[in-house]
Amino acid sequence: MTPERLVFVHGSGTFGAAAWPTQHALASTYDCLFLRRHGFEVGADPLPTDFAADQRIVIEALGEGGHLVAHSQGAIAAMMAAVDRPDLVRSLVLVEPACLSLTTDLPATVAHRALVGELYDRRESLSDEDFLQEFVRLVFSTDARPPSTTEDRRAARRLRLQSPPWEAPLDIVPGVPTLIVTGGWEPLYEEIADYLAVTGARHVVSPGGHRPQDTPDGDALIREFVALHAASGD
């Protein structure tokens, strides 16, 4: 029997299989694909965000249909793919989804845009390292490690080139079983998750910061949700 397709979509940091270290073992049960979004290639110059290109990458990876698991800004591409081709998406798991264009008028999103939007407005005048340092301080209230390797420097440039997530052309996913997993650390992601829960998604808080998928409980939530819909055929 051919295993079901399971597609993983990374956020704005690590990409490909490196973004999902706790989920590697799922390859023994599913046909797992760990994607690289547009502009995320090892050894290649970073490219600006292309939401439509990311959507195409996800849809092509789904093939004849499968399950989607996405983190942070990767949730944008996953949602866009599910809106365009809900017939291909058997289940959708969004971990800490950065889907700010859905909640643009809600208080935590308004506050985040006021804080971070000014940084995006002047990013052309900043070096890659300066943008990285300020972005991490604003979003995570800590200091970023200075880039020390060629790949680190590419990652810093890639971050500066990314479009702010509130510019994404998002809509609600029609009729796809959806699980939202948040880490319970940041009101912005809880606000987005609560909004999606009102539209029919299931929302579970699993402590683990911005990467709850790396914890045993967060990983179990993903596995159980995918298995439920793989077994039921929904």
pLDDT at 35: 98
Closest C-alpha to 98, from 5, 211, 14, 16: 211
pLDDT at 77 over 70: yes
**CATH number of the domain at 5-103+163-232, please?**
3.40.50.1820
pLDDT at 53: 97
Q: How far is it, in rounded angstroms, from Cα 52 to Cα 35?
A: 15
Domain boundaries, the chain: 5-103+163-232, 107-157
- Residue 73 zone, left/alpha/beta (φ > 0; ψ -120 to 50; rest): alpha
pLDDT at 1 over 80: no
Whole-model pTM: value is: 0.95
- The token duo for 66 is 């499968």
Mean pLDDT (whole number) for 81-106: 98
pLDDT at 207 over 80: yes
What band does 143 get if pLDDT is binned at 50, 70 and 90? confident
What band does 232 get if pLDDT is binned at 50, 70 and 90? low
pLDDT at 9 over 90: yes
Pick from 9-13, 145-149, 228-232 the range whose average pLDDT is largest. 9-13
- Amino acid at site 41: E
What band does 13 get if pLDDT is binned at 50, 70 and 90? confident
pLDDT > 90 fraction of the chain, expressed in percent and rounded: 90
